[in-house]
Structure 1
Amino acid sequence: MSTIDDVIALAAAHGLDLLPESADVNEAGLDYRVVMADDTEGRRWVLRVPRRADVSAGMAAEARVLDLVAPALAAGGIAVPDWQVRGPDLVAYPALPGSPGLTLPGGEPEWHMDPADPGYAERLGRLLARLHSITPERAGAAGVEVRTPAQVRRSWAEDIARVREEFTVAPALAGAWQDWLEDDTCWPPATVMTHGEIYPAHVLFDGDGTITGVLDWTTARVDDPARDLAAQYGAAGEEMLRAAVSAYGEAGGRVHPGLVAQARHLWDASPIGHALYALTTRDDADLAAAAAALDPGA
């Protein structure tokens, strides 16, 4: 879709009567183009248009995740998208209450909250304890992808091997990855239902800082609990990571001895994910950015 009018027309084909003059577009997402617009009764809608065929193919899996997590998080006053339009060319749902803690106008980060706020760390920990309480058995029964601890570790090893085959990786970085793969203390003894990209751009807040909703469940699955804590380390450092883990444990989350270290490792492994994304898109700019991150001295 090349224009907002095209997206509004697509919504109309799915039965939504939206006002073009009310529309705003967000181009920052890697997988979806997002447009927000009002209907004729003043209700705000979120329209997600997939950018690639592989994104469309994954939408059914995300829908199953939303159906699973919605009641668990609603019990804690936290909303997730209610997809009222579910098509291969468009997802649409009523806008959730609250505003994101981070936006990227023009590609530059603009913070609307303080990620180093101890109050946020506590709320994040409680949110994750609630999400992670969904058992792998329930997730599997709902058709959500389930990875065992052994599969999580093996998947990282395979991803690292693929990146090293496709790119030049600085020896120090490659060595750090190998040490991490071999360190038994970091890897989780159990896996849990995770979001996968839970950071302030995907978290909604009210005016008091209360978390009201969580967006973008594209990468959600049963996996390493640390994947939902890594961004807290990246945004706010180890002290606030430990604060979130403390609140997580107090709220019933299972804290294994290597959880904090694993969250740090996962954040430091971000270039692996960027490289895999570049291999998916095969875009020259994406490939160049991934190569630079993997071998900064080249």
Structure 2
Amino acid sequence: MARSHLTLAALATSAVAELDVVGAAPFGSAGRGDFDAAVITGRDGRHWIVRVPRSERAEQQQSADLVALRALSQGVRARLPFEVTTFAGQTPVDGTRAVVSEFVYGTPVTLAGIDLALADSIGQAIAHLHALPTSLVTDAGLPMRTAVDAHRAALAIVDRAAATGLVPAALLQRWEQAGEDQGLWQYTPAVVNGDLGAGSFLASAGDVTGVLGWHALRVDDPARDLYWALGTRRDGIADAVFDAYTRVRGSVDRRLRQRATLLSELDVARWLLHGTEQRDTTIVDDAVTMLSRLVDERLGDATESISPPTLPILAVDEVEALLDRAERVS
């Protein structure tokens, strides 16, 4: 049974001794989702979020979120162009705990609601996150994954998906070629949120104001935080995200978008594997449909290639001119 916002307000006052509550309202969908949550208004006008997990998975996620938030010190936060919530207190309840954190202002973002200005702000926000020192993750004992680890994980997913016999041959060949492309996996791991999507962002007036959900904070492949943007087929949105990212970070990873494209496709493979493991024909059928759509949308689109970049093909006279120039130089 869902806890009321008044019950949650009472828990908030137990969690934060100095909190003087003057108002409370439900937050999110009451009785649904992973958490019971409410927005609390203090007498000083500040707002807070109190959340109680509704499942073991949600409780684990909440615990990981708290560890990550502690790792994001004030000095680290000052480098980010958006707000990150601050832990305020907690109190035990029914075998779990209610956690109170500072409210971050902004309107939740949807994939369909991203325009070019917001896409630019999102790309910049992610780039600033990836520019943080990796020591903040190592010092907190959070996970680290090398490029070699990420490569092996991708190969394992491809092998398992191939074993189902449900992946279109053309798509499987594309993934296998990507696995053999050593250049695709030559990148420097960075600090990543690890679970970004459109819903992770809060925005106001076309700018990102906050990022929610830090339970997967780690050092990993930067493409993990960007591949979700390829889910929109609206012209220019994904380009704007990647262009803004590159403008901030520079050309530190020339194969970033190609790897992000691969990860977005392997996400569908994971959905397929989840369906086969659960023996859920509805999920399996949905994944097969998505794989077929990938064949139609990606394989004939040069902008979505994950193959090694090739040099332009030269005409015979251009080759002769190059050879002649090389001979004169030598």
> What TM-score, normalized to structure 1?
0.77
**Equivalent in the alignment of 2:59:** 56
1:67 pairs with one of 67, 70, 79: 70
Contact 1:169–1:295, Cα closer than 8 Å, also in 2: yes
CA 75–25 in structure 1, closer or farther in 2 if over 3 Å, else same: same
Query: Which residue identity does 2:40 align to in structure 1?
Result: D
1:93 pairs with one of 98, 101, 123: 101
How far did residue 203 of structure 1 move? 0.8
1:290 pairs with one of 280, 283, 291: 283
Aligned with 1:269: secondary structure? Answer: helix
How far did residue 218 of structure 1 move? 2.1
Alignment of 1:89-128 (within 5 A): 89-102=97-110, 113=113, 115-117=114-116, 119-128=117-126
Aligned with 1:251: secondary structure? Answer: helix
How far did residue 231 of structure 1 move? 1.7
1:134 pairs with one of 120, 132, 135: 132
Aligned with 2:253: secondary structure? Answer: coil
Query: Which residue identity does 2:259 align to in structure 1?
Result: Q
CA 22–52 in structure 1, closer or farther in 2 if over 3 Å, else same: closer
Contact 2:84–2:212, Cα closer than 8 Å, also in 1: yes
How far apart, CA to CA, are the structure 2 residues paired with 1:149 and 1:238? Answer: 31
Contact 1:26–1:33, Cα closer than 8 Å, also in 2: no
How far did residue 34 of structure 1 move? 4.9
Query: Which residue identity does 1:96 align to in structure 2?
Result: V
Contact 1:34–1:46, Cα closer than 8 Å, also in 2: no
More displaced stretch, 145-154 vs 75-84: 75-84
Aligned with 1:186: secondary structure? Answer: helix
**Equivalent in the alignment of 1:106:** none
Structure 1 residue runs without a partner (length 5+):
103-108
How far did residue 57 of structure 1 move? 3.1
How many residues align? The count is 281
How far apart, CA to CA, are the structure 2 residues paired with 1:192 and 1:58? Answer: 21
CA 176–94 in structure 1, closer or farther in 2 if over 3 Å, else same: same
> What TM-score, normalized to structure 2?
0.70
Query: Which residue identity does 1:245 align to in structure 2?
Result: F
**Equivalent in the alignment of 1:192:** 190
CA 217–289 in structure 1, closer or farther in 2 if over 3 Å, else same: farther
Cα deviation digits, residues 39-75 of structure 1 (max 9, x gap): 4525433233334324423444332322334543433
Contact 1:169–1:294, Cα closer than 8 Å, also in 2: no
How far apart, CA to CA, are the structure 2 residues paired with 1:18 and 1:184? Answer: 57
CA 235–144 in structure 1, closer or farther in 2 if over 3 Å, else same: same
How far did residue 177 of structure 1 move? 3.4
How far did residue 10 of structure 1 move? 4.7
How far apart, CA to CA, are the structure 2 residues paired with 1:64 and 1:279? Answer: 33
**Equivalent in the alignment of 1:46:** 49
How far apart, CA to CA, are the structure 2 residues paired with 1:64 and 1:203? Answer: 20
How far apart, CA to CA, are the structure 2 residues paired with 1:258 and 1:238? Answer: 21
Cα deviation digits, residues 158-213 of structure 1 (max 9, x gap): 34455666x6633435444333323333324211111123333111112x212111
2:227 pairs with one of 204, 210, 230: 230
CA 235–143 in structure 1, closer or farther in 2 if over 3 Å, else same: same
CA 180–47 in structure 1, closer or farther in 2 if over 3 Å, else same: farther
How far apart, CA to CA, are the structure 2 residues paired with 1:291 and 1:27? Answer: 30
CA 25–243 in structure 1, closer or farther in 2 if over 3 Å, else same: closer
Query: Which residue identity does 1:258 align to in structure 2?
Result: R
Structure 2 residue runs without a partner (length 5+):
293-330
How far did residue 278 of structure 1 move? 6.4
CA 18–255 in structure 1, closer or farther in 2 if over 3 Å, else same: same
How far did residue 215 of structure 1 move? 0.4
How far apart, CA to CA, are the structure 2 residues paired with 1:279 and 1:50? Answer: 28
How far did residue 93 of structure 1 move? 1.1
CA 69–40 in structure 1, closer or farther in 2 if over 3 Å, else same: closer
**Equivalent in the alignment of 2:82:** 78
RMSD of Structure 2 on Structure 1 (CA)? 3.5
Identity %: 23
